[in-house]
Every structure is written in structure tokens, then in C-alpha cells.
């Protein structure tokens, strides 16, 4: 294997990529635009839950129980139901997520001390919403209990909760480091796969058999421009993340950039591997998309920690480079770590890069005339 | 009109033949709609699940043990005792999401009505789990304290009880929503990209000129290319609905299959229309790939199908109402999980229809100017 030959080939490939400005600009602008849109839009702070009221008691006590909900930013009052029949209908139609059902005799039972029961009907379609709503409801109810019995408040234990790495629980900080890794997870693979498949489709790949290039030089040279593009995409995303979203801590950013190169290399290797199987660009596009989209955007741990995924999902997560690079991004940008914390991720990414290249090499061997 | 329909039919048949010659693509379409839907349905949830908890219990009383015991699967993994100096290390390493520190004489002070405090450290990088998990732990502590106090000083009934009842999904199964949602999302991906890519490919190969020399109206060309893929994806999704969503993920199907079919076909037409519209803006397959990601990524994260619209900042919520997937997902949830009827989903279908018609119209107009169609 000759480094000069490799360098010459890689340079040629880079110049060709450089000539397609439209593709280059889209490749830089699209992930950047996505980081901005999704970074600002993503949050798990649930507010304005739509609710309706079925007040069967209609007494001052029931009204004063219900009042705090109307003033809370967590709930959005949508009206009163006239009859119990409407309860089912309104939940099925998803006009509201919650119906508060105050029983008849609420005030009477309250005065008598026989502990009336207020029912909260939640729409369980989105369990996350339901859980959060249940938590809010419990907190509102506890606040009401404390207002009824002020003497009991003094002796509740105080739970001092401290949220590490993200004290204000700002969702933007929470998601953005992971998003950088996730968003990057598809582009290098797709662009490399399509570039490679295009040559196969148009037949220009035959020209390369006439050159003195070895198989390894061919693969590495083909990858080089796309990996460089991937690194450039990362740098743009990193700059955006640090300036616009301002994560709290800065760990070893240089190490992260080095890891990003490994990550881009692994992804482009995957793209070329996929392209070796297929005969057309459409197939390369679709298959790479399907193979990379969910592992990069969902299984990598952007929202759900990998440790809390079950079975097949965890296996998919472990078998894809984004999971490890995401871990590194969070470690550096949110937790402010470096060095040792990144070693495991670096090893995994290196293994992926090597593995994909070796597989692509083996496949190329089989296809040589 | 009949001739137009015949054109559309034959164009689609040609697409189907091409598709049948690429088994790799068919395999991946099936994989995307079945195995991937299963993996996400089973594996992904926004709820607290198997969260790691570390405990520093300096009290070792009945109450502190009761609190630790209450932190159990499936929400939490069995709590682990960790020495106090290692709290920071454990959080940095990410092995535990929560660390609870109970001070000495906690139970005694509490029963003697003195002020007490408990420390809860949370790894907030585990976003969905951090807030929910912390609020569960607080509730659990409160509940155990009340129980212990009640056991010692006698029962004290609260002034009123709040009884939370979850409709449609009492066991709060995350699999139902996630399975339905990802099936819908894969339908979106495939229906948006396949016909558009097919169209662009003809352009790259130069065969589109051949097409345009035939007496074909652009509408016929667009519909002809699209229906083959719509049909294939629809068939595979029906299979997935029965085998994966209803079968493996045990989601009940409470509404009408006919309505679901109707909603899906309308949605697919809209999505294919949007994809084709994108194709008129792209100059190469690579660009279509990039542009479709620009659409698909926000659709996944910001349409309100996965994370509820109420969780988005108020100023961004309108973005969700721009996305067709928002309406389709809502209709699917209503039909499948809530057993809604036509009246409940009618407005969603209407919006989808309008979006599809608009996309098709603009697509046809752009098609004319892009490809210079001489036929009228």
C-alpha cells in the first residue's frame, strides 16, 4: 500500500466533492438547521394540559378545590361538562387529556370528615403525559391538603433535590449535546453510500480497475472526502451548540473533535459497506436511511438512557457508533469530563471504523473481476 | 378520464416490476415496517424504567428501609448502597441516575415532629427520567412517612383523597403508543422518499424525456409513480399492524379497520405528494436524501406524536400543526387506542386531504416548469 498513491486518490476524490457545491452546502446547512429547529423545539416540560371539569357538587368547597387548577400554568381549562355521559365522549375524542370529577356531597363529606374521593380521569394514550399529569395532580392535591391542615405541613420531610449538570433543568441543555451526535449519525453514511453507489450505477467504477490502486487504497481514498465533510459538519454543529445553546460545562473539546473524526470515519465506512451490497443509488439511499435512522435518532440515547431500554433495542444501540459518540458528547459538553471518561467511547468508535472498513474490503475483493 | 386512469395503472405496474427486481429493497421495507417497529415498541419509552438508584442510608431505621424497599422494579433497579464520598463519581460515570441520602436519626426526628431533610442527587442528563423519577421518589418518601407516622401515632385520614384513573391504558403500557407511532413514522419515511427517489432517478438517467414525449399529463405521471409504492407500503403495514402491533406488542385495536385504512391511504397520498414536491426542488438523489431528512427529523421529534405537543415551548407549538404526521398520528391513536369513530377523526382527515391536494397542485405546477412539459 502506497501512501502517495492513496493521498493522490483521496485528493482527487475531494476535489470532485468540492465541485458539487449544491450538495456540499446542503450537507452543511441541513444538519445545522435541524439542530436549531429541534434544539429549540424539544423539551419535556409539560404545560397547558387541557382539562375539563365535572363538578357534581357545585358547592363553595368544590369550587375552591378546583380553582388552583385554573390558575396553574400546568393546566389549561377547557370547560365544564354537563353530564357524566360527556366524560367518555370527550376523552375518546381527545378534546381534553384530563377530566376532574368531583363527587356529589363533596362539601358535606368534607365537613363531616368522611374523606370524599375526587376522581381524576387521565387519557392514557401517551403514558408519559399521563405520568407527568398524575404527578402534577398529586402535587396540587397535596398543596390543597396543606391548605386545609396547615399544622401538618411543618413536619413533612424536605427533599432537597439537586439536578446535576443541568441545575435549571433547561431542556435545551439536556438535549443539544445528544442531538449533535444523533443528527450527525446519518449524513456521512448516506452521502458516502450514495456517492459510491452512483459510481457503480454510472459505471465509472470500472475506470478504477484500470488504475494501479490497491483495494484498501481505493476504499480509504473514497472515504476520505466524506469523512472530512463529516468532520466539518461536526465542527459547525459544535460551534452552534456552544454559542447558541451554551451548555454549562466544557470538558476536553479537542479530544471530542478527534473522536468526531473517528465517528465520521466509522459512518462513512458503514455507508460504503451498504453501497457494496446494492446496485442502485435509490437502494443505497433507502437502505442506508433505514439502517441508520432509528439507531442514530432513537436508540442512541437522546431521550431514553440506553440502560433503561430493553432487549432488542439495547442490542441495536450497542451495535451502532452513535451510541458511543453521544456518550462522549454528553460527557464533554454537559458533564465537563475528558480523558478517561472518553477512552471507552474512543475504543468502540475505533473498532467500528476498523470493522466496517475490513468488511467493505472483503466484499470488494469478491466483486473484483 | 378512463385513459388517464389506464395510464396511471400501467405506470404503477411498471414501477412494481422494477421493485420486484430489487429484493434487497423489499427486504428492507419489510424490515423497517416490522422488526424495527417491534424493537422500538419494546425498547423505547419516555417513562422511568430500570433507573439506577444509589442509597446512602445513615439512619438504618424501619422508615429508611421502607423507603429504600419501595424503590423497586420496573421503575427502579434494586437500590445499591454506596459510600458517601462516591456520590459524585457514581453520577459522573452514569451508573446511577439517582442518589438518595438519608441522614442519621431521620425516623426519630420525624416522629418527634422536628424538621428533617433528605438529599436527592439526580443525573439530569437522563432527561426524561430525571424529572419524573425525582417526583416519584418524592411521592414515595411522602407516602412511607405518612404510613409510618400513621402506624405509630394512629391513623389520620386526609380531608379528601385524589384518585387518579387512567383511561384506555390503565397499565400505562408505553408499547402501544410507541409501536403505533413508529409504524406511522416508517410509513411516512418510505412513502415520502420512494416515489420521489424513483422520479429523480428517471431524471438522472435521462428516461424522463422519454416519459414526457408520451401523451401523459404530469398528474398521471406523479400518481402513476406513487401508487405502486403506496400499495407496497400499505400491504406491509397491514401485516405489521396485525403481527407486530397487535400481536407482539399486544396493542388492542378498538376502532374500525376500514377507517384506519382510509386514514392511512389519505395520509400516504399526502406524504407521497409532499415527497414528489420535494423532488421538484432537488437536483440529485443526494439532495433528495438530505432534504427528506430535513422534513423527517422534525416530524419525528416535533410533531407531537412521540412527545406530546404540550411539552413543546408555547412559541414552537405551531410547528407541530404544520406537519401531516401530527394529524395522522392523532387519528391513529384515536382509532386504535381510544376506539374513536369517524366524527372524532374527520377533522384530521380533512386537514390531511387539504395538505395533500395543495402539495399535488404545487407539485404539478412545478413539474411543468422544471421538466418543461409541452403536453397540456
Q: pLDDT tens across B257-286, in order?
A: 999 999 999 999 999 999 988 888 888 888
The pLDDT, as a whole number, for residue A24 is: 85
Chain B CA closest to residue A140: B162
The 3-state secondary structure of A121-154 reads EEECCCHHHHHHHHHHHHHHHHHHHHHHCHHHHC
pLDDT at B3 over 60: yes
Q: What is the pLDDT of residues B290-327, one digit of tens each?
A: 889 999 999 998 999 988 999 888 888 999 999 999 99
Burial class of B232 by CB neighbour count within 10 A (0 to 12, 13 to 18, 19+): buried
| Residues ≥6 apart with Cβ < 8 Å to B306 | B46, B178, B181, B300
Residue A129 near residue A97, CB atoms below 8 Å: yes
C-alpha grid cell, residue B362:
404545487
Please, which pLDDT band fits residue B58 given cuts at 50, 70 and 90?
very high
What is the edge-to-edge ordering of all strands in the sheet holding B80-81?
Answer: A158-164, B117-123, B98-102, B53-57, B80-81
As a whole number of Å, the CA-based R_g of chain A is 28
Cβ–Cβ gap A285/B160 under 8 Å: no
CB atoms within 10 A of CB A266: 30
- Looking at chain B, which runs of residues are DSSP E strands? 53-57, 80-81, 98-102, 117-123, 161-167
Query: What angle do helix axes A127-148 and A60-71 make, rounded to 10 degrees?
Result: 130
pLDDT at A207: 65
- Calpha distance B255→B335 (Å, rounded): 5
- For residue A281, report the phi and psi dihedrals to the nearest 5 degrees: -65, -40
Average pLDDT in the A113-129 region? 93
Q: What pLDDT is recorded for position A367?
A: 57
What is the three-class DSSP state of B80? strand
Task: Give the span between the Cα atoms of B41 and B300, in whole angstroms.
Answer: 15
CB pairs under 8 A between A and B: 372
What is the model's pLDDT at position B19? 87
- Residue B166, φ and ψ in degrees, nearest 5: -95, 120
Interface touch B50/A141, C-beta < 8 Å? no
pLDDT of residue B372: 57
H-type helices in chain A, by residue range? 3-19, 21-41, 60-71, 85-92, 106-112, 127-148, 150-153, 171-184, 187-202, 205-209, 215-240, 253-277, 281-297, 311-318, 321-333, 340-367
Which whole number is the average pLDDT over B175-184?
94
**Percentage of chain A exceeding pLDDT 70:** 95
Of A94, A129, A310, the CB nearest to B330: A94
Q: How confident is the model at residue A124, as a pLDDT?
A: 93
Query: pLDDT at residue B234 above 90?
Result: yes
Phi then psi for residue A104, to 5 deg, are -65, 140
Instruction: Please give the ipTM for the structure prediction.
Output: 0.89
Among A99-103, A199-203, B79-83, B217-221, which stretch is predicted with the lowest mean pLDDT? Answer: A199-203
Q: What pLDDT, on the 0 to 100 scale, is given for residue A208?
A: 65
**Closest-approach residue (CA) in chain A for B291:** A30
Q: Minimal Cα distance from B336: which residue of A?
A: A125
Q: Do A156 and B165 touch (CB under 8 A)?
A: no
Q: Return the pLDDT at B344.
A: 87
Interchain proximity B316–A337, CB inside 8 Å? no
pLDDT digits (tens, 9 = 90+) for A52-79: 999 999 999 999 999 999 999 999 999 9
User: How confident is the model over B176-198, as a mean pLDDT?
Assistant: 93
Q: What pLDDT score does B376 carry?
A: 43
Amino acid at each position: 500500500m502506497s501512501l502517495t498513491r492513496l493521498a493522490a486518490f483521496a485528493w482527487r476524490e475531494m476535489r470532485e466533492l468540492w465541485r458539487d457545491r449544491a450538495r456540499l452546502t446542503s450537507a452543511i446547512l441541513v444538519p445545522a438547521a435541524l439542530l436549531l429547529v429541534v434544539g429549540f423545539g424539544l423539551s419535556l416540560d409539560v404545560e397547558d394540559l387541557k382539562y375539563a371539569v365535572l363538578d357534581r357538587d357545585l358547592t363553595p368547597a368544590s369550587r375552591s378545590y378546583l380553582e388552583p387548577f385554573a390558575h396553574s400554568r400546568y393546566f389549561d381549562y377547557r370547560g365544564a361538562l354537563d353530564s357524566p355521559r360527556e366524560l367518555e365522549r370527550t376523552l375518546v375524542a381527545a378534546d381534553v387529556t384530563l377530566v376532574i370529577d368531583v363527587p356529589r356531597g363533596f362539601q358535606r363529606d368534607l365537613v363531616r370528615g368522611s374523606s370524599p374521593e375526587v376522581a381524576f380521569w387521565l387519557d392514557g394514550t401517551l403514558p408519559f403525559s399521563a405520568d407527568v399529569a398524575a404527578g402534577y395532580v398529586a402535587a396540587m392535591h397535596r398543596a390543597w391538603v396543606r391548605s386545609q391542615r396547615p399544622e401538618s405541613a411543618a413536619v413533612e420531610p424536605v427533599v432537597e433535590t439537586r439536578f446535576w449538570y443541568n441545575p435549571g433543568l433547561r431542556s435545551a441543555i439536556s438535549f443539544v449535546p445528544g442531538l449533535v451526535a444523533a443528527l450527525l449519525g446519518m449524513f456521512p453514511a448516506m452521502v458516502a453510500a450514495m456517492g459510491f453507489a452512483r459510481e457503480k450505477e454510472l459505471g465509472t467504477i470500472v475506470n478504477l480497475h484500470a488504475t494501479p490502486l490497491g483495494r484498501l487504497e481505493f476504499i480509504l481514498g473514497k472515504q476520505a472526502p466524506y469523512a472530512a465533510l463529516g468532520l466539518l459538519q461536526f465542527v459547525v454543529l459544535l460551534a452552534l451548540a456552544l454559542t447558541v445553546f451554551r451548555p454549562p460545562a466544557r470538558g476536553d473539546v479537542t479530544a471530542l473533535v478527534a473522536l468526531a473524526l473517528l465517528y465520521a470515519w466509522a459512518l462513512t465506512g458503514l455507508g460504503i459497506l451498504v453501497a457494496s451490497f446494492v446496485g442502485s443509488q435509490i437502494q443505497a439511499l433507502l437502505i442506508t436511511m433505514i439502517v441508520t435512522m432509528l439507531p442514530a435518532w432513537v436508540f442512541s440515547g437522546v431521550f431514553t438512557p440506553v440502560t433503561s431500554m430493553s432487549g432488542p433495542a439495547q442490542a441495536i444501540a450497542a451495535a451502532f457508533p452513535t451510541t458511543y459518540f453521544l456518550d462522549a458528547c454528553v460527557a464533554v459538553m454537559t458533564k465537563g469530563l475528558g480523558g478517561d471518561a472518553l477512552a471507552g467511547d474512543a475504543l468502540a468508535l475505533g473498532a467500528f471504523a476498523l470493522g466496517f472498513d475490513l468488511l467493505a474490503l472483503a466484499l470488494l475483493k469478491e466483486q473484483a473481476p | 378520464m378512463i385513459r388517464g386512469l389506464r395510464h396511471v395503472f400501467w405506470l404503477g405496474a411498471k414501477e412494481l416490476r422494477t421493485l420486484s427486481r430489487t429484493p434487497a429493497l423489499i427486504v428492507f421495507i419489510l424490515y423497517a415496517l416490522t422488526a424495527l417497529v417491534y424493537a422500538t415498541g419494546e425498547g423505547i419509552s419516555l417513562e422511568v424504567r430500570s433507573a439506577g438508584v444509589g442509597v446512602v442510608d445513615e439512619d438504618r431505621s424501619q422508615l429508611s428501609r421502607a423507603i429504600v424497599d419501595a424503590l423497586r422494579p420496573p421503575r427502579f433497579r434494586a437500590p445499591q448502597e454506596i459510600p458517601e464520598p462516591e456520590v459524585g463519581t457514581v453520577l459522573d460515570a452514569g451508573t446511577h441516575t439517582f442518589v438518595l441520602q438519608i441522614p442519621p436519626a431521620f425516623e426519630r426526628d420525624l416522629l418527634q415532629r422536628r424538621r428533617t431533610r433528605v438529599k436527592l442527587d439526580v443525573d439530569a442528563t437522563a432527561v426524561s427520567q430525571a424529572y419524573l423519577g425525582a417526583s416519584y421518589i418524592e411521592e414515595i418518601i411522602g407516602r412511607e412517612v405518612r404510613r409510618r407516622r400513621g402506624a405509630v401515632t394512629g391513623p389520620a385520614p386526609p380531608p379528601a383523597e385524589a384518585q387518579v384513573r387512567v383511561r384506555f391504558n390503565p397499565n400505562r403500557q408505553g408499547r402501544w403508543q410507541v409501536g403505533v407511532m413508529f409504524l406511522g413514522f416508517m410509513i411516512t419515511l418510505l412513502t415520502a422518499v420512494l416515489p420521489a427517489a424513483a422520479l429523480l432517478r428517471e431524471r438522472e438517467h435521462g428516461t424522463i424525456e422519454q416519459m414526457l414525449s408520451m401523451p401523459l399529463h404530469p398528474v398521471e405521471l406523479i400518481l402513476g409513480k406513487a401508487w405502486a409504492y403506496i400499495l407496497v407500503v400499505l400491504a406491509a403495514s397491514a401485516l405489521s399492524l396485525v403481527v407486530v402491533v397487535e400481536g407482539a406488542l399486544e396493542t388492542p385495536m378498538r376502532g374500525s379497520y376500514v377507517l384506519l385504512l382510509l386514514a392511512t391511504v389519505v395520509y400516504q397520498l399526502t406524504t407521497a405528494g409532499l415527497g414528489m414536491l420535494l423532488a421538484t426542488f432537488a437536483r440529485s438523489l443526494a439532495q433528495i436524501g438530505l432534504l427528506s431528512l430535513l422534513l423527517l427529523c422534525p416530524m419525528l421529534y416535533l410533531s407531537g406524536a412521540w412527545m406530546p405537543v404540550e411539552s413543546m415551548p408555547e412559541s414552537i407549538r405551531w410547528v407541530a400543526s404544520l406537519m401531516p404526521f401530527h394529524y395522522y398520528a392523532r387519528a391513529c391513536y384515536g382509532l386504535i387506542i381510544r376506539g374513536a369513530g369517524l366524527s372524532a377523526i374527520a377533522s384530521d382527515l380533512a386537514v390531511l386531504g387539504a395538505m395533500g391536494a395543495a402539495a399535488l397542485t404545487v407539485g404539478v405546477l412545478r413539474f411543468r416548469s422544471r421538466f418543461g412539459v409541452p403536453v397540456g
